[in-house]
Chains A and B, each alone.
Chain A
C-alpha cells in the first residue's frame, strides 16, 4: 500500500464452514420445486427416495475436503464418482468447519425466527423434538395441527420437510401482497442467515480476540421489503444471532465474487487502520439445492446438492504468523476488460502478478471456481475448475513461462481438484482458504491466488461479468522465525 500513514498489514487468520445437510430442503430448491409443480407423476417421491443420509453426506470425500479433514490432493487420488467411495469413520467436524444435521438446522431456524413466522407440525420426528429442545436457545416453538398446516400452505405458507414428503412445518408469508416478503423468499433468507450465523459462531470460538469491529456479508440473497427489495445487511442479522463482541456490519454484493470483493474491502479497512478485525460472512443458498437433480437421477447418483453452506473468514491486523493479504497484488475486473475466459484470467490472474514482477508459475496454487465435478458433469456443465486451469496454463504458455506441451503439468502443479458444493458465492475460491492457510503456515507454500468470477448478466441489468482476485503470501515474520533469524 502506498497510502500515507498506512502501517498495518492485513492477514487472513482462518475460515470456518458450516455444512448444513438438509435433504428435506432439496424439495424447496428452485429447480426441484418448479419441476414438482409441473410433474405430478411421482417426481416428488422419486426425489425423496434419492436423498442422502447424514452419514453418507459426512463421509462423502469432497465434503471431508470442505471441513479440512482431507486435502484436495488426496481427493484427486480417490476414484470417481466419489459417492461410491465414502471415507470410513468420517468425522463431522474438522479444522475447516463442521456439519450440522437437518434437525439442528431447523432448530437454528427457530432460534433465528425474530418475526415469529415458523410453525411446526404438532407431531414431529423425535430427532427434531430433541434438536429443538437443545438448539433453539429458548425460542418459543409454535406448533399447529395438520388442518391448520394445510390451510397455511393454501394461503401462501412455504412447507419444509424432513425424511418424507409430508411437511414438518411451514414458513408463513409476512405480508399478503408484498412479493419480497413471500414465504419462499423469507425461508431462503432465513436459511442463509442461520448458516452464516453458525459459521460465525464457530469462527469466534476459535478466534476470540480482538473484538470484531465489522462484519462484511457477501451472500447472494435479497433481504428487504417491497420498497427496498435487496436492501440487505444480512451480516448484521447474523451478528445479532451470535453471542459475541461484534460492532457492526454491511453487505457487499457481486454475485459469486462477493466473497473475494469482501475480503479485499475488509483487508483494506484493516490496512487503513480503521478496523483491527473484520469478519467476512455468508450464508448458503437454498434455491441452489437440487439444481442439477435431473442429471444426478439420470446418472443413477443420489441427489448431491443437499447442503446449504455458510462461511466466516477472519481478517485481522498482522499477527506475524498468518498469511499476508497482498493488496498491492489484487484485482477488480474493470469495465471494458472483456468477459471471455481468457480475458478474465488475464485481468484477474496474470495482470496483478506481472504488475508486481511475479510470474504465473510463482504462485503455488490457484483457487478458482472450485465446483465439485461429480455434481456438474452429470448435468452437462463440465469440470469448471479444470476449464479455468487450462486457460491459466494457456496464458502461461502464451507468456513464454512454459512450453505449450507443458500445459498439463502446469494444471497438475498449480490447479486444485474441485470439491465444493455448487453454492455460488461459497464455491468461488474461498473453500480453499483452510488448506491455503495451513499450506502457508505449517506447510511449504509461499503464495496462493484466489480468483472469483460473477455472472452479473443473470440479473438482466447488464451484459457484463465481474470478478476479483487476491494474493495471499507466507508471512515474512514466519519465514524469518523458521530460518532462525
Chain B
C-alpha cells in the first residue's frame, strides 16, 4: 500500500480499460497531485 498524500502522479489511462479521469479522481481523493493525465486508445 502506497500513501499517495502529496505525491505527484502521472495518470496514463486506456479507453477500454481505466480512463485517465478515473485514475485522476482516485489518486486525488487520496491526496495526490496529478501533474499529467492522458487517455490513449490503441484500437
Contacts and interface: CB of A to CB of B under 8 A. Distances in A.
A424 B43 contact: yes
Nearest to B23: A340
A339 B19 contact: yes
Interface string B1-41: 00000000000001111110110000000000000001111
A369 interface: yes
Interface in A354-378: 369, 371, 376
A369 B22 contact: no
Interface string A380-414: 11101001100000000000000000000000000
A427 B19 contact: no
Nearest to A383: B16
A380 B43 CA distance: 11
A376 B21 CA distance: 23
Contacts of B17: 341, 382, 387
A422 to B, nearest CB: 5
Nearest to A368: B16
A458 B41 contact: yes
B21 A387 contact: no
B19 A384 contact: no
A465 interface: yes
B22 A455 contact: no
Nearest to A342: B22
A380 B38 CA distance: 18
Contacts of A380: 42
Contacts of B38: 457
A463 B15 CA distance: 12
B16 A340 contact: no
A480 B41 CA distance: 45
Nearest to B38: A457
B16 A292 contact: no
B21 A369 contact: no
A422 B43 CA distance: 6
A379 interface: yes
27 contacts: A291-B42, A292-B42, A339-B39, A340-B18, A340-B19, A341-B16, A341-B17, A341-B18, A341-B19, A371-B43, A376-B42, A379-B42, A381-B14, A381-B43, A382-B16, A382-B17, A384-B43, A387-B16, A387-B17, A453-B15, A455-B39, A455-B41, A457-B39, A458-B40, A458-B41, A463-B21, A465-B19
Given A339-B21, A453-B15, 13 more contacts: A338-B21, A339-B39, A341-B18, A371-B43, A376-B42, A376-B43, A381-B14, A381-B16, A381-B43, A384-B16, A384-B43, A387-B16, A453-B16
Interface of B: 14-19, 21-22, 38-43
Considering the complex of A and B, which 9 residue pairs feature the smallest CB-CB distances, nearest first?
A: A455-B41, A340-B22, A381-B42, A384-B16, A422-B43, A371-B43, A455-B15, A387-B16, A339-B19
